[in-house]
């Protein structure tokens, strides 16, 4: 890892899971631990990059590991809209953006100022949700010249062929240079120390396949970014 091959690059990494409030004490969230995102930030900083980590909710140990690095600057966010604001600001001066955060697709249409209560209810609760913007698609569409944009896709589709087809469509829809696909489920992916990824490139090709620790996986992603940037430069 200490190759210093990212020296001179400014990179932005988003990590963790957004939390969309329902009321002052409740939210809609997800199981992202932020560990892969933290390792992406640490790997980039170890390789010489100046890193902005936009951290949604993540495990305390993952956040602490990233906080300890002198080349990592951390901005903490809660909701998808806060994440969008922070990553858009940080991306303006960056050569690479890696969106590893698990962003809520929807947020509650209304946030109650007081705790939602069962009182007077009929035994059910219906929540109205509105779609969040696709943040990485917006970044990719408005990026400065020469910026590389990488998205992640956590997929539960068990069939590898169907998963790859979905990934190709997703990469094209989002307009990103690389889509890093990892299979997740009730056990794999989240909260684990290992990860298995397939990186899909802009021709829909499998640019790389890798499995290892989340740190090794992070290095494989940066290797993929470097290969791409060497080709484009």
Question: Which stretches of the chain bind ligand C5P, using CB under 6 A?
Answer: 80, 99, 101, 103, 105, 132, 134-136, 151-153, 170
Is 122 flagged in the annotation as binding?
A: no
C-alpha 90/C-alpha 138 separation (Å) is 14
Is 134 flagged in the annotation as binding?
A: yes
First-to-last alpha carbon distance for the chain, in angstroms, is 23
Q: Which helix (H) or strand (E) covers residue 80, if one does?
A: helix 80-91
Give the nearer residue to ligand C5P in terms of CB position, either 49 or 181: 181
C-alpha 96/C-alpha 149 separation (Å) is 6
Give the nearer residue to ligand C5P in terms of CB position, either 156 or 211: 156
Shortest spacing between CB 103 and ligand C5P, in angstroms:
4
Give the nearer residue to ligand C5P in terms of CB position, either 48 or 204: 204
**Exposed/middle/buried for residue 70 (C-beta within 10 Å: 0-12, 13-18, 19+):** exposed
Is 118 flagged in the annotation as binding?
A: no
Is 174 flagged in the annotation as binding?
A: yes
Reduced to 3 states (helix: H, G, I; strand: E, B; else coil), residue 143 is: coil
In contact, 187 and 158? CB cutoff 8 Å: no
Q: Which helix (H) or strand (E) covers residue 149, if one does?
A: strand 148-155
* Catalytic annotation, pick one of 30, 132, 182, 195: 30
Shortest spacing between CB 78 and ligand C5P, in angstroms:
14
In contact, 98 and 13? CB cutoff 8 Å: yes
30 is catalytic: yes
Give the nearer residue to ligand C5P in terms of CB position, either 105 or 209: 105
C-alpha 192/C-alpha 188 separation (Å) is 7
Shortest spacing between CB 100 and ligand C5P, in angstroms:
7
Is 105 flagged in the annotation as binding?
A: yes
Shortest spacing between CB 7 and ligand C5P, in angstroms:
25
**Residue ranges for the binding site?**
105, 115, 133-136, 152, 170, 174
**Residue ranges for the binding site for CTP?**
105, 115, 133-136, 152, 170, 174
Name the residues annotated as catalytic. 30
């Amino acid at each position: 890892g200490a190759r210093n091959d990212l020296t001179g690059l400014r990179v932005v990494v988003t990590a963790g899971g957004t939390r969309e409030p329902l009321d002052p004490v409740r939210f809609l969230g997800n199981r992202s631990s932020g560990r892969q995102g933290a390792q992406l930030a640490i790997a980039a900083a170890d390789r010489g990059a100046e890193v902005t980590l936009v951290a949604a909710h993540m495990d305390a140990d993952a956040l602490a590991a990233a906080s300890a690095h002198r080349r990592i600057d951390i901005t903490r966010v809660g909701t998808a809209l806060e994440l969008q604001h922070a990553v858009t600001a940080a991306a303006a001066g960056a050569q690479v953006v890696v969106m590893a955060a698990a962003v809520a697709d929807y947020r509650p249409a209304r946030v109650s100022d007081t705790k939602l209560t069962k009182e007077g209810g009929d035994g059910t609760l219906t929540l109205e949700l509105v779609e969040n913007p696709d943040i990485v698609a917006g970044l990719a569409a408005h990026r400065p010249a020469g910026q590389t944009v990488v998205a992640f896709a956590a997929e539960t589709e068990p069939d590898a062929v169907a998963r790859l087809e979905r990934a190709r469509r997703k990469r094209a829809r989002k307009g990103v240079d690389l889509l890093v696909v990892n299979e997740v489920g009730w056990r794999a992916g989240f909260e684990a120390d290992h990860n298995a990824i397939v990186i899909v490139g802009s021709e829909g090709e499998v640019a790389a396949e890798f499995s290892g620790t989340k740190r090794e996986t992070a290095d494989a992603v940066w290797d993929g970014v470097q290969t791409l940037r060497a080709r484009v430069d």
